[in-house]
A and B are shown apart, each in its own frame.
Chain A
Amino acid sequence: MTAEARKIQHLYHRAGFGPEIANFADQKKPLADHRRRLFADSQAKPERLSVVSENDLRAAAVLKMAALGDEEDKKEMVKDIVRRGRELNLLWLDQMAGTKAVLREKMTLFWHGHFACRVLNAFFVQNQNNTLRSLALGKFGDLLMAVSKDAAMLNFLNNKQNKKNSPNENFAREVMELFTLGRGHYTERDVKEAARAFTGWNFDQEGQFVFRRFQHDAGEKTFRGKTGNFTGEDVLQMILNDRQTARFITRKIYRYFVNEQVDEALVEELSKSFYESEYDIGQLLATVFAADWFYDPKNMGCQIKAPVTYLTGLRRQFGATLTDKEPLLFAQKLLGQVVFYPPNVAGWPGGKSWIDSSTIVTRTLLPSVLFRDADLPMEAKDDGDVNTEFLARSNFKLMKASANWAGFVTAFGGKPETETAAALAHFLLQCDLSSTNARLVLQNADRTSNEALIRSLAINIASLPEYQLC
């Protein structure tokens, strides 16, 4: 494997969910071609997730009836919402595994962790996710404004309760602490004054933003040293005018796409051009993926895959078809990341926190379970919330998949055993294999046929600690 090939794979791991057999075959094309294609593939009109149709006013009716309806109706409606939430989760996982617009999808996942939000109404959740996707590579200011006027977020952060005579600071605080400036870059006074500016920001039953003029405090506010009759929009613009916001977002993008160990000088430089570009996210990413330092060995193969990235990567790299999708919910739960159910508004902490004794056992055994009909008796914890207990039901016994072994044979077969193993390791891992591991991978391999050999080698490699990294 050439150094160039590893860089190409690095690009697919970070800008997407890992390379596929097809990318492997394309390795002779220069890196720049792959990069151009990644961006081009994400330029198309974003694919929207839809489990509740736009015209379906059921969601509105659901809310109305939940307020008025009788017990049985209410129960049925909650069930329906939960069912749709579950469908939405699986739909998104399928889209990650199948879409050509991988960069857009990866960025949507990034923003889902950044603007972490958790509400029951599947219609609101769906709308928010589609908003994140459509603006994922655009201007951060547009994204911030859209999320700030999004029903799911306003609901989650209690802005419905934020009224002129009884301000609720939750939204105002999180916007600054987690979405833009970061802790330590605003004062308690700023929170109070910003909360006043956001009074009256509300939404209707169809999830449309509504500005309730009579609940809005139009009085004078002093925010970040300036005084005026600021609106919510003014406050967001003032936050964007602060270079610290560019720094905060750039740093987070760097940690997510490049390395958790931050090169502060580099981030400072990137954040300057991000700010000058009026927060052009796509341009920032293009700069990162074109930079030589992005392909520095210290930035490759060093990140622990998030559970959803891990699961999606398995599906893409192996060309896997799942016989039943439901176990994916259970797998997300066991591994510690269920999309649409972030732990809190700060999102998933990531990095080493993904790995503990339980998750490493699950990850080590999962490829065998998936592709070799092995058994893994594991139970997920029921967190006691009647609306999420479905995640704990099911088990790995149902988790079966077929992989594109024919494609693997074409790409890796017809060589001496050790070379096949090495080629597979290059495709599946971003780290070098020690001599011990190269030997272990071949130990007790299934040599009954060429395909059996390739399958057992691939499973052995995907079970290694190195497979948890990209």
Chain B
Amino acid sequence: MISRRSFLQQSSLAVAGSLLVPAFLKSLEAQALAPDDKILVIIQLSGGNDGLNTVIPFADDLYYKARPGLAVEPAKVLRLNDHQGLHPAMEQLQSLYKDGLMTVFNSVGYPNPDRSHFRSMDIWQTASNADEYKTTGWLGRYLDASCTRQCQPHEAIEVDDTLSLALKGELVKGIALQDPKKLYANVHSPIFEKVAQAKPTEAAHENVAYLYKTIAETSSSADYIYEKSKIQASKAAYPASQLAKRLKTVASLINSGVASRVYYVSMSGFDTHVRQEAQQSRLLKEYADGVAAFVRDLQQQKRMDQVMILTFSEFGRRVGQNASNGTDHGTANNLLVINGKLRKPGFFNAAPNLADLDDGDLKFQLDFRNLYATLLRKWLQADPGTVLGRNFDLVDFV
């Protein structure tokens, strides 16, 4: 634990730093990423994306039998191999696949799956067991574990106005920003500037020190990110969607050399109980077009070997469609990984077995924490046991 005294020292230092931006930036510059430091970008699809209509098992009759009103006919599927292919809205993703930039993991999940959105998302974000409640996120604990020196919130950035549990550690929490300019404007509003100059009394309680520290770090991280992001703002063309806009912000921060190895972005609307096709195809197109623009942008900057993009959703949906041409909450799902130097581009494992279901749901073949452990060890050079609380076998894809 950090003592109250060192909290106070750090916070007053950081306040002083934010008043002297150039010197302060210089000191943070010392923590800049090395040119070959790896970066992880997580894209969260909220609501439970229907994986079976995203990566479609078009060679499986059982798929067509289970979804008479919802299955995508074989001729329309964008084929990736002889068994599975992408939803027709994802042409752009198919081109990334053809370039050898993508690995598809089938049937990813966890034991005793929970079908509630918030609980299952909690499990994915905290990397807990289904019957355990953790109050910190896996990327927050990565920050806790990797920060031997004083860590700054901007070492894990979520492009949003609120911070997800995934990025909250015990000692360090990441920072959320919709765009660097907006956060900068907020911390430079008259009232926040005033508060940033405030000081606690000598005898202040530890929680007071924590509040001052958070304010000081928010100010300094906001300044740092804003100043830094101007260095190389992305000039590439992106589609107009919210996801694309957020990914463009991520690209600008990466290209400008912001000292963050973790980025988090989410996209919502996947809870397709009713008339799924119209809604999901719009979302999948938004996703594929946005991600492709992001990847092409990073390729231009020769960054694709350095950046790993992982896309997940809190659960997949049931194999059989419902009576409203939609699908209800299910369990295991596919997960996509995109990077320039994958060891196993293509499909990591076999298509889900639709003949062997658990009460109408896919059985999971791979625990998502095996993937987290692999990324922690091989991509972020952290100890997975420390971050995840126990050991998971590594998976050979990085």
Chain A interface residues toward B at CB < 8 A? 71, 75, 118, 173, 298, 301-304, 333-334, 336, 341, 343-346, 349, 351-353, 355-361, 364-365, 368, 374, 376-386, 388-389, 431-434, 436-437, 440, 443-444, 459-460, 463-466, 468-469
Contact = CB atoms under 8 A, between A and B. Distances in A.
Contact of B208 (A336, A431, A444): A431
A358 B208 contact: no
Interface string B104-126: 00000000000001110110000
Interface in B244-300: 266, 268-271, 273-274
Contacts of B269: 382, 384
Given A381-B164, A440-B198, A349 B208 contact: no
A431 B117 contact: no
B274 A364 contact: no
Interface string B174-188: 011010001100110
16 contacts: A344-B119, A356-B175, A356-B214, A357-B163, A357-B176, A357-B221, A357-B222, A360-B215, A361-B186, A384-B268, A384-B270, A386-B273, A440-B197, A463-B194, A466-B200, A468-B211
Contact of B168 (A334, A353, A379, A388): A353
A351 to B, nearest CB: 8
Contacts of A437: 198-199
Contacts of A379: 160-161, 178
A382 B46 contact: yes
A381 B201 contact: no
Interface of B: 45-48, 117-119, 121-122, 131, 133, 135, 153, 160-165, 168, 173, 175-176, 178, 182-183, 186-187, 189-192, 194-195, 197-201, 203-208, 210-212, 214-215, 217-218, 221-222, 266, 268-271, 273-274, 314, 323-324
A356 B173 contact: yes
A302 B269 CA distance: 40
Contacts of A364: 191-192, 195, 215
Contacts of A432: 201, 203
A328 B203 CA distance: 35
B135 A345 contact: no
Contacts of A118: 118
Given A304-B207, A364-B191, A384-B269, A357 B173 contact: yes
B133 A469 contact: no
A376 B189 CA distance: 10
A360 B163 CA distance: 11
B324 to A, nearest CB: 5
Contacts of A389: 268
A431 B46 CA distance: 41
A323 B351 CA distance: 55
A431 B205 contact: yes
B189 A365 contact: yes
Contacts of B183: 361
B321 to A, nearest CB: 13
B273 to A, nearest CB: 7
Contacts of B270: 384
Contacts of B178: 379
A443 B198 CA distance: 12
B186 A365 contact: yes
A344 B134 CA distance: 10
Given A344-B122, A357-B153, A378-B162, 17 more contacts: A343-B118, A353-B168, A356-B153, A356-B168, A356-B214, A357-B173, A358-B176, A365-B189, A365-B191, A379-B161, A382-B46, A431-B200, A431-B204, A434-B199, A436-B197, A443-B194, A463-B191
Contacts of A431: 200-201, 204-205, 208
A302 B197 CA distance: 21
Contact of A434 (B186, B187, B200, B205): B200
Nearest to B271: A386
B167 to A, nearest CB: 8
B204 A383 contact: no
Q: Is the interface of B mostly helix, strand, loop or mixed?
A: mixed
Contact of A303 (B200, B207, B266): B207
A302 B208 CA distance: 7
B274 A75 contact: yes
Contact of B324 (A71, A298, A377): A71
Contacts of B197: 436, 440
B132 to A, nearest CB: 9
Contact of A361 (B165, B205, B218): B218
B205 A302 contact: yes
B133 A344 contact: yes
B178 to A, nearest CB: 7
Contacts of B273: 386
A345 B268 CA distance: 24
- 5 closest pairs, A vs B, by CB? A384-B46, A384-B47, A465-B211, A346-B133, A349-B135
B194 A355 contact: no
Contact of B198 (A298, A333, A436): A436
B69 to A, nearest CB: 13
Contacts of A378: 161-162
A68 to B, nearest CB: 12
Nearest to B131: A173
A384 B205 contact: no
A384 B117 contact: yes
A361 B187 contact: yes
Given A365-B192, A368-B191, A463-B194, A385 B271 contact: yes
A469 B212 CA distance: 12
Contacts of B121: 383-384
Nearest to A366: B191
Contact of B205 (A301, A355, A368, A381): A301
A434 B208 contact: no
Nearest to B190: A444
B283 to A, nearest CB: 11
Nearest to A304: B207
Contact of A465 (B190, B191, B208, B324): B208
Nearest to A345: B133
A463 B192 CA distance: 8
Query: Interface centre among A357, A382, A434, by most B CB within 10 Å?
Result: A357
Given A343-B118, A379-B161, A352 B176 contact: no
Nearest to A465: B211
A159 B133 CA distance: 20
Contacts of A463: 191, 194-195
A343 B200 CA distance: 32
B192 A361 contact: yes
Nearest to B313: A384
A248 B324 CA distance: 47
Contact of A469 (B45, B160, B203, B211): B211
A341 B175 CA distance: 24
Nearest to B49: A384
- Tell which of B45, B48, B200, B222 has the most Cβ of chain A within 10 Å: B200
Nearest to A70: B323
A304 B206 CA distance: 11
B198 A464 contact: yes
Contacts of B323: 71
Given A364-B191, A382-B46, A358 B163 contact: yes
A359 B192 CA distance: 13
Nearest to B183: A361
A33 B287 CA distance: 63
Nearest to A191: B131
Contact of A352 (B191, B194, B210, B218): B210
